[in-house]
Amino acid sequence: MKTKKIYIPLLYTVIGVFWILLSDKTMLFMAGDLDSGLLTTFSTVKGTLFIVVTAVLLYALLGKFEDKIQDNLHLEDTLNSISDSFLTLNRDWVITRVNSNFYECTGINADVIGKTLGELFPGYANSPIYLGAKQAMESQTPVRIEAHYDPLNKWLKIAYYPTKEGISVYFNDITAEKETTNQLKLALERYNLAAKATGDVIYDLDLSEQKVIFSDQLRALTGDPSALISQTLNWWRALIHPEDIDRVTSDYADNISRKVHQWQAEYRIRLHDNKYKHVSDQCHLLLDGEGKPIRIIGSIKDIDQLKRSALQIRQQGEILDKIHNPVVISDPTGVITWVNAAFVRRSGYAEAECIGHKHADLLYGPKTDWQTVYQLIAAVTRQEAFSGELLLYMKSKAEYWVSINLSPIFNDAGELESYISVENDITERKEKEAKIGQQSEQLRNVSWLNSHRIRKPVASILSLIQLVSITTDTKEREHMLETLRACAEELDEIIHKINEEASAN
């Protein structure tokens, strides 16, 4: 910088001295034959010519330096417009240029041009930042590093580029990104621990690099003990079933472009033995400080058994739907998971109204026999079958009777999976039984009442028969016979009335 400042006056001095010496010698050489007036004229012309020549030279030089100044100003504007902090160092480690972001990132307010890094940053020579700069300066090759600089308490991402004068340095503050990465690393470690308990595969997808890091459970999921946990995105996509790949990749691209923070996808992947398995992929999209998608953190769950069980249930459901008896499937806690069409028709509840509820929430009422209910609960607690009769209530609160046959369903491991209840509507039978019982009670009441009414004429008849057999008086006998006939008629009338009452009931 100092050399450039004295360049113009030094050049001007050299040219001036040279001109004076050369022109004066020439003039003295030629002055022998010239008079004083002509000599004066020649001297004036010489001075004028000197001024014109030097003016032209000064104009050319100033124009050249003005172009350089404009270039420097344009370069400075360019450097100030970039997002990176920037500085240049000569081979003496003196700062020769910086941009405005340099001051903002370092927090320095004073002018730093002409100062060394050691003056500005004590302990700089012992830091990885200096080692990276030294390597670039000595090897004349670009160097890129990430390092934490303690005096600034910042993580810096630095790129060193060799120049003729020294090196150019571009750097930016990545502290927030590093903290996010460390948090994600810690979260991934925690997820790995959780994944070991749940069996889920946790993954971290770098969208810019298109690389995925999986948790160790990847090997168990794919059945490949040699599978690497660090893979490319294309490697994973190659495992997706051909019928699912277009849908999955389209959904991913759409959700990323719309910056959807969370979504879920279900698809099939090819295993090590070339069979396919259903998985559920829970995705969480992460954005950088500028709102640009940078990575996806997700978990992949094996839902193959669940999917196949659901398929079996649907197939069985199609069969059970054709059965006229109401059928209910519940989970081990008694919560309804499926009902057939017959149950919907009999109870009056829609299928959606039943799912997620228990029998007691929907069907029990004031007249339900709780002693039978307790017996049912005890059987369920023991994971045993149960049979019994219960009075239930429709959605309309109308009563109906069912005979329940409840059976537990176990998987291959002997674990309870669900209960299936097949119901038989016995309302008509119960109503007939109630009517027969009512009639029997009424007949018992009629018999009891009429037995006393019959006893009187029967007792009179028996007494009169005995008296007729022992009397000798003809008129008395005739009177007894007349009375006996009246008692018989009374008895006959009573019997007719009993028959009528019995028929009426």
C-alpha to C-alpha distance for 127 and 107, rounded to whole angstroms: 19
Mean pLDDT of 435-457: 63
Same domain, 155 and 95: yes
Domain assignment present for residue 400? The answer is yes
| Residue 472 reports pLDDT greater than 70 | yes
Same domain, 164 and 204: no
Listed range (11-25, 129-143, 208-222, 451-465) with the worst mean pLDDT: 11-25
**How does pLDDT run across 52-86, given as a tens digit for each residue?**
777 777 677 666 666 565 555 565 666 667 788 88
Structural tokens at position 182: 């460390």
Domain assignment present for residue 181? The answer is no
Q: Who has greater pLDDT, 441 or 134? A: 134
Q: Give residue 497's pLDDT.
A: 73
pLDDT band at 217 (very low <50, low <70, confident <90, very high): confident
Same domain, 375 and 400: yes
Q: What is the CATH number of the domain that holds 395?
A: 3.30.450.20
Same domain, 298 and 205: yes
C-alpha to C-alpha distance for 435 and 430, rounded to whole angstroms: 9
Residue that is last in its domain, among 240, 270, 302: 302
Helix (H) or strand (E) holding 38: helix 36-81
Same domain, 74 and 91: no
Listed range (47-51, 280-284, 309-313, 423-427) with the worst mean pLDDT: 309-313
CA 405 from chain center: how many Å?
41
Mean pLDDT of 423-440: 77
Residue that is last in its domain, among 15, 48, 79: 79
Q: Give residue 150's pLDDT.
A: 83
Listed range (205-219, 297-311, 355-369, 429-443) with the worst mean pLDDT: 429-443
Mean pLDDT of 2-11: 57
- What's the first-to-final CA gap in the chain, in angstroms? 129
160 in Cβ contact with 146 (< 8 Å)? no
Domain assignment present for residue 98? The answer is yes
pLDDT band at 311 (very low <50, low <70, confident <90, very high): low
Summary mean pLDDT of the chain: 80
Mean pLDDT of 173-185: 81
- Helical packing angle, 427-470 and 474-504, nearest 10°: 180
Domain assignment present for residue 179? The answer is no
Same domain, 153 and 204: no
CA distances from 430 to 360, 424, 443 (A): 21, 12, 20
C-alpha to C-alpha distance for 65 and 469, rounded to whole angstroms: 170
Same domain, 470 and 419: no
Q: In what order do the strands lie in the sheet with 336-339?
A: 336-339, 327-330, 416-425, 399-410, 386-393
DSSP per position, 118-136: HHHSTTGGGSHHHHHHHHH
Q: Give residue 83's pLDDT.
A: 80
pLDDT band at 285 (very low <50, low <70, confident <90, very high): very high
Tell me, yes or no, if the pTM score tops 0.85: no
Listed range (32-46, 137-151, 285-299, 341-355) with the worst mean pLDDT: 32-46
Of these ranges, 3-17, 69-83, 204-218, the one predicted with the greatest mean pLDDT is 204-218
Listed range (62-66, 130-134, 358-362) with the worst mean pLDDT: 62-66
Q: How far is it between the farthest Cα atoms of the chain?
A: 223
C-alpha to C-alpha distance for 230 and 214, rounded to whole angstroms: 6
Structural tokens at position 440: 């029997």
Domain interval for residue 158: 82-173
Domain assignment present for residue 432? The answer is no
Domain assignment present for residue 311? The answer is no
| Residue 2 reports pLDDT greater than 50 | no
134 in Cβ contact with 93 (< 8 Å)? no
Same domain, 210 and 118: no
Domain assignment present for residue 128? The answer is yes
Tally of structural domains, the chain = 5
The helix/strand/coil state of 237 is helix
C-alpha to C-alpha distance for 337 and 327, rounded to whole angstroms: 11
**Half-sphere exposure of 429 toward its Cβ, with a 13 Å CA cutoff?**
9
| Residue 179 reports pLDDT greater than 90 | no
**Dihedral sign from CA coordinates of 451, 457, 461, 467:** positive
Same domain, 296 and 388: no
Residue that is last in its domain, among 12, 45, 79: 79
C-alpha to C-alpha distance for 307 and 278, rounded to whole angstroms: 7
Q: What is the CATH number of the domain that holds 496?
A: 1.10.287
Same domain, 192 and 232: yes
Q: How many CB atoms lie within 10 A of CB 15?
A: 15
Domain assignment present for residue 433? The answer is no
Q: How many CB atoms lie within 10 A of CB 243?
A: 10
Q: Give residue 79's pLDDT.
A: 62
Beta strand extents in 163-292 (DSSP E only): 166-173, 201-206, 211-214, 230-232, 262-270, 276-287
Q: Give residue 36's pLDDT.
A: 56
Same domain, 344 and 274: no
Q: Give residue 184's pLDDT.
A: 67
pLDDT band at 1 (very low <50, low <70, confident <90, very high): very low
Same domain, 94 and 66: no
Q: Give residue 476's pLDDT.
A: 77
